[in-house]
């Protein structure tokens, strides 16, 4: 029960932080971490009640108390490992397509390794090696937990759609292999189009330069896709010189400021990226003093490293 109370306090700290600053990644991680820990605490409390009230040594008790948790753990690891096949289908043989499997394998190795380490005493293996292994495994598990909390809050933050009038829709770029947009980038564009259909006077800002291994700029491929979806050219603002999320935000802000006619009233702006990337994009928007809210397109998995598309 004490662990549950601590978890709820962590959630409360996150909520208070988000009330002060809705873009706070720290607040979001605290909120999601508290939620995860609260659910885990309730799960263990349930197991404890089952263990107390079912006959000791009963087969059903053993299965529930000692079988459910490992089974859930294996199912989670299996989901991430086999989900990489879906990602390869949608994204091709890229590094990002392998990350889901790597995450699942990491969990599958790290947790059993930590339990095995505790079965060995410092007399079995040298003390310094025991402590080094313990430190490495704990850091690995903590980082996995924090990233899971980040992903969970990214998903939570996208559950409520924006209802306000929108003047500009920034589409953040990602890698292209041809003039056609890949599924990852298409999901960002489709999310932007979803909001455009509710705000037909809004303008798109397609943002993304041409990498050394790309046949055209990301912005060019996005504009071509928007044309195919019957978006008129005069409602597409084009920026194809810069390649990082920070530069995209900075120069999209300049383009919007030059295009916006009502200088007394600030425009309403959103940026469209993928759900795992929204919080990171919000931090860059904050850095360049761009008042924009992020919306996330769906992807084959909620897990994907957010740094590869920066």
168-188 residue pLDDT tens: 999 887 777 777 887 778 888
3-class state of residue 152 by DSSP: helix
With CA atoms as reference, report the closest residue to 256 among 142, 167, 190: 167
- The percentage of residues in the chain with a pLDDT greater than 70, rounded to a whole number, is 76
Domains and CATH numbers, the chain: 2-156 (no CATH), 168-297 (3.40.50.620)
Q: Residue 305: what pLDDT?
A: 38
Q: What is the mean pLDDT of residues 5-28?
A: 80
Q: Residue 308: what pLDDT?
A: 36
Q: Residue 59: what pLDDT?
A: 62
Half-sphere exposure of 250 (CA within 13 A, CB side): 9
Q: Residue 53: what pLDDT?
A: 67
Q: Residue 136: what pLDDT?
A: 92
Averaged pLDDT of the chain: 78
Q: Residue 172: what pLDDT?
A: 83
Half-sphere exposure of 278 (CA within 13 A, CB side): 31
Residue 123's alpha-carbon distances to 8, 113, 128, in angstroms, are: 40, 18, 11
Q: Residue 162: what pLDDT?
A: 65
Q: What is the mean pLDDT of residues 198-213?
A: 83
Q: Residue 71: what pLDDT?
A: 82
With CA atoms as reference, report the closest residue to 310 among 243, 251, 212: 243
CB 156 within 8 A of CB 30: no
Compute how many other C-beta atoms are within 10 angstroms of the C-beta atom of residue 163: 7
Euclidean distance between CA atoms 3 and 8, whole angstroms: 9
Q: Residue 212, exposed/middle/buried by CB under 10 A (0-12, 13-18, 19+)?
A: exposed
Euclidean distance between CA atoms 192 and 168, whole angstroms: 10
pTM, full prediction: 0.64
| Pick from 108-117, 121-130, 225-234: least confident | 121-130
pLDDT tens for each residue of 49-102: 766 666 655 666 566 656 777 788 888 888 877 777 666 655 555 555 577 778
**Confidence tier at 301 by pLDDT (50, 70, 90):** very low
């Amino acid at each position: 029960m004490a662990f549950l109370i601590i978890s709820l306090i962590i959630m409360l700290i996150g909520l208070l932080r988000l009330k002060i600053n809705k873009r706070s990644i720290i607040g979001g991680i605290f909120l999601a971490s508290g939620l995860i820990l609260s659910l885990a605490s309730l799960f263990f409390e349930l197991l404890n009640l089952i263990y107390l009230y079912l006959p000791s040594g009963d087969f059903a008790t053993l299965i529930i108390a000692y079988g459910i948790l490992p089974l859930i753990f294996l199912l989670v690891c299996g989901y991430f490992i086999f989900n990489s096949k879906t990602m390869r289908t949608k994204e091709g043989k890229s590094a990002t397509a392998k990350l889901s499997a790597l995450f699942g394998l990491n969990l599958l190795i790290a947790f059993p390794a930590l339990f095995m380490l505790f079965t060995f005493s410092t007399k079995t293996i040298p003390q310094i090696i025991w402590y080094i292994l313990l430190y490495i495994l704990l850091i690995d598990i903590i980082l996995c937990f924090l990233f899971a909390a980040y992903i969970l809050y990214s998903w939570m933050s996208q559950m409520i759609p924006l209802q306000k009038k929108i003047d500009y829709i920034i589409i953040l770029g990602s890698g292209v292999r041809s003039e056609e947009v890949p599924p990852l980038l298409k999901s960002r564009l489709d999310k932007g189009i979803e909001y455009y259909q509710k705000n037909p006077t809004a303008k798109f800002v397609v943002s993304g330069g041409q990498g050394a291994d790309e046949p055209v700029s990301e912005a060019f491929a996005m504009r071509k896709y928007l044309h195919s979806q019957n978006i008129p050219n005069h409602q597409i603002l084009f920026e194809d010189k810069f390649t990082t999320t920070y530069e995209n935000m900075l120069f999209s802000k300049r383009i919007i400021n030059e295009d916006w006619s009502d200088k007394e009233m600030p425009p309403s702006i959103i940026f469209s990226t993928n759900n795992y990337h929204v919080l990171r994009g919000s931090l860059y928007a904050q850095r360049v003093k761009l008042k924009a809210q992020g919306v996330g397109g769906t992807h084959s998995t909620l897990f994907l490293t957010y740094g590869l598309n920066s």
